[in-house]
Structure formats: C-alpha cells, structure tokens
Structure 1
C-alpha cells in the first residue's frame, strides 16, 4: 500500500517552522511521511538538518519536501539574473534533500507561486525558459539521486501548467527520469474534465500525489470522488507517496497564501481530524 503523509503547515500559521516536533506527532497519529517546506531545509545549517534527520530516523518517519518558489527564484522569468538565482537555489535544494537522505521534492518549482502571466504575453516563451532552466537543474538532481516533481496547480495560482497533460509535456521536454509530475486532487477538481483520465494521463510519470477536499478540508469531509481517484492510482500502478494537504486555519502567511479566509475547523481537534482522515484514506485505497 502507498505510504501516506501529511503537510506540516496543517498545524502552522507560517511557512518557516521547527519541523522536529511534527515528526513525533505524525508518528503517533499513524502517518508514514511528514512533508515539509524545502525552502526552510535548504536554508538550514547542517547541524539543524542533522537534528531533523535524526528525529525522523528515530521515529521511522520518511521526509518529503515541497515548495512554491518565490518570485526572486522564478526560473521562467524574462530576467536572466532571476533565472540564474532560481537555478542556483534549486541546485542547493537538491543537495539539501540528498543530505537529508531523502528522495522527493515537489511543488511549483518551474516558475513562481503565486504566478500570473505578465500582461498579454505569450506563455509559450515562459514555458520554454522554464524547461531550459530545469534541464540545467536536473543534472544536479540526477547527480544527487533525488527526484523533482512539478506540481500541476489551478489557473488562479499559476499559468505554466494547469493540467496533467501540460505537465506530462513539460517533463517529456526536460527529458529526465528524475523530473516527474505531482498531481493534487484540489487542483484536479478545478481544472480537469475527468479526474480519472488526468491521473491515467500522468501514468508512470507520476512521482508524487497530494490529496485534499475541494475546499481544502481533510479527505472525507467533502465531495471529492475518492473512489475514482484511488481507482486511477491503482490502474497506473502508482506505488509512491500520497500526502495530505489540508488547510483549515485562517491567518498568518499560510492562511494568506492559501486563501483561507474563514475557520474551517468547526471545533474539530486538528490531531483527531488528521487521524480520522488517515483512516479514511487507507480504507478508500483498500476499497478502490
């Protein structure tokens, strides 16, 4: 069965956080994986990384990494100095993931987040620059023996890729087995005509999968077609990680950037809700 994880920011208001306490928390709740902000880990000293790495090893928790690149690291930018900065940052990120003994980094690593197409310009030029930049980055990713997964997000958050088909075309152009696709049920629900077909389109290029309800609640609280989703995952033989990304709390950087403007907890205890969602997901996978 797929390993199941959860994103640390479910519990936080800000992106920068001490990830160590969340390792034992997710272990106690029954998760296999803790997903954390790769930007924070990239900026850490080796001693700080060692502290997190040691705790994860102690608890038997796998770490995966995710980021939406800030505008100063946009590898699709028209400004070559911005692209160079982004390329350098992503190379450092790959090296940080290797140092941690981990394998997976994903997110909006092909441009910036949030990102709007400037003016009325042709997006193809931005896609071309992104692909060219990623081809340079991926050489280091390969040397580090890690994987970069480009996340498909909705049109309100990015423009480079909004569908599974666009992501597949992108990774094929990059031309490396170490560049794969990250699909997210929240974004699939907005952009795809057929979620099952979108997952099948990704096929063996799928490297990571995010799950959450249509309104960012934890799985099992909404109308997401989970049977359809997990049936597609089984159909393509995907054995990789599945990571929850629920966001329930307004306020702080996380609430602002994710656009959570009302409290979605409805009196729920966050830990209990995460545990419930985990049981729901495992049951749905078994029944698909």
Structure 2
C-alpha cells in the first residue's frame, strides 16, 4: 500500500461534534479502514477536545481539522471588528486542532464560506495576509501546517484556483502555509486535473477527493485517473481525504451553506467503504 494516509470527513457520519457523534465517527472511520478522520470545526462549541482525543488515540486514528468562516467573522472584510472576530476564531480553531493531536489545520481559512456580491478588495486581501501570517507563526510553534483550501467562485472570492492559492501563500510568506486541492472545486475552476497539481508541486499539503456531485466516487464524470497520475508525478505522500455531503446526515444550517438540496446517499457506511477501496485502488495503481 502507498504511504498516503487515507482519510474521511466526519460529515459522512454525523452533522455535529457532540461527544456521542464524535465517538460514532471515530468508530465508523476505523471500521471502514481509514487512517485519518477530518473534523469540521463549524460546531466546535460542542466539541469535547480531551474526550475526542482519547477516542482517536484509542483506535490509532490520525486527525485533521477544517473550517470556513462566517460573514460576521470574515478576515477578508474591511471592517476591523469583523476581521478581529475571524482572527480569534482561527486562533481558537488552531488550538483545538493541536489539542486533538492534529498537525493539519485547513479549509477556507481566508474568508466566509458563501457567495460574495463583489470581488475581493485590496484592503480585504491585506487583512487576509496579515491574519494568516500571524496564524502561521503560531502554527509553526506548535509543529503544525495551515492549508489554503481552494474553493469555487460560489463559496469564496479570495482563492478559486491553484495559481490564486500560490500567490496568496507567497504573500503570507510562511513555509508552513501549504496548498489544499479539492477535486470537487477543481472541476469547476481549473482547466484540467494535472496542471494545477504540477504547479503546486511540493507545496501540496492536503487533498480532498470528491465527485462532481459529491456522491459515490466513480459515479460522476471526474477524471480521477489523471489526478492520481499527477499526484504520483510530484511524489505526494500527504493525506488523501474523501469528502461527501448529504442532508440525510449534515445539520440543516450547514446543508444550506453547502447547497445540499438533494441526497445522493443515505448509507454513510456503504459510501465510506466504497470510497476507501476506490482511493486505495487509485493510490496502488499510481504509486508515488
């Protein structure tokens, strides 16, 4: 088997981070054969960090955390009070990730997750750079990396392509700020699945695998073969995490944020087992 940890997003199992839900996600993730569980911190107020870490450690699972921001806590805003709330949320989330034993804190760390009515302003971009440079310094002290997840135009106006993300990472200027590619978003914004991977190269730190409709892998039209070939080309050995959403599992508010208007699956366990086999097969067929 390849060295890449194969992960699954906790929203395949549960829509919240209560102790019972986290334990369920941990148990199911291990039973499905994954190496890593990704926890979304949208519900972090309900997360019992010590209990979650004990559950993860008990079964030997790695953990990564992700999040986006809200419009009233948006570090790409020009409103100082809004930026300050977003900055605090990011620092709190970094501490939670560290407390869980994770070294990857990733996601749309640079903006709210939602459709913007206008392009990013110069002042808003300066705020993003300032906030994430400070967050990266704190992350380095904790032995952690930050991931800039590239999201489509309907979810952010800050970073939509690999080239955008590299420019932002260069301006932040910290070498523990890495790029997070997501095949769902790449399908919307990139020309193909190869050139962005090659452009990012050894700055790739995290990968989300998701179908064009966020359902079962292989049931859509995405060219995963070329994508995994490209990962092999750059000798990527980081996490490859399956991400899929269904309003049968995800809480209503987040379902609305993610525009989950129909259910492509109802059985998370079957979906996850299939995804693990699919990703493992791709990695084995295209080893680094």
Aligned equivalents of 1:3, 1:32: Cα separation in 2? 5
Matched, 1:22 2:34: no
Instruction: Find the counterpart in structure 2 of residue 138 from structure 1.
Output: 136
Q: Secondary structure of 2:112's partner?
A: coil
Aligned equivalents of 2:115, 2:69: Cα separation in 1? 10
The equivalences for 1:1-288 within 5 A come to 1=2, 2-12=4-14, 14-17=15-18, 18-41=21-44, 43=45, 48-118=48-118, 123-249=121-247, 252-265=252-265, 269-288=267-286
Aligned equivalents of 1:135, 1:182: Cα separation in 2? 17
Q: How far apart are 1:122 and its partner, in Å?
A: 5.5
Q: Secondary structure of 1:110's partner?
A: strand
Q: How far apart are 1:50 and its partner, in Å?
A: 1.2
Q: Secondary structure of 2:160's partner?
A: coil
Aligned equivalents of 1:218, 1:254: Cα separation in 2? 20
Aligned equivalents of 1:270, 1:16: Cα separation in 2? 16
For normalisation by structure 2, the TM-score amounts to 0.91
- Point out where structure 1 has 5 or more consecutive residues left out of the alignment: none
- Per-residue CA deviations over 1:159-194 (Å, capped at 9, x if unaligned) read 101000000111111111211111100000000012
For normalisation by structure 1, the TM-score amounts to 0.91
**Number of paired residues?**
280
Aligned equivalents of 1:101, 1:122: Cα separation in 2? 34
Contact map agreement 1:106 1:151 (CA 8 A) in 2 = yes
- Point out where structure 2 has 5 or more consecutive residues left out of the alignment: none
Aligned equivalents of 1:220, 1:178: Cα separation in 2? 33
Aligned equivalents of 2:282, 2:152: Cα separation in 1? 25
Aligned equivalents of 2:280, 2:111: Cα separation in 1? 33
- Per-residue CA deviations over 1:219-267 (Å, capped at 9, x if unaligned) read 22212111101111111111110111111335722322221212212xx
Q: Secondary structure of 2:110's partner?
A: coil
Change beyond 3 A, Cα 1:115–1:145: farther
Change beyond 3 A, Cα 1:91–1:202: same
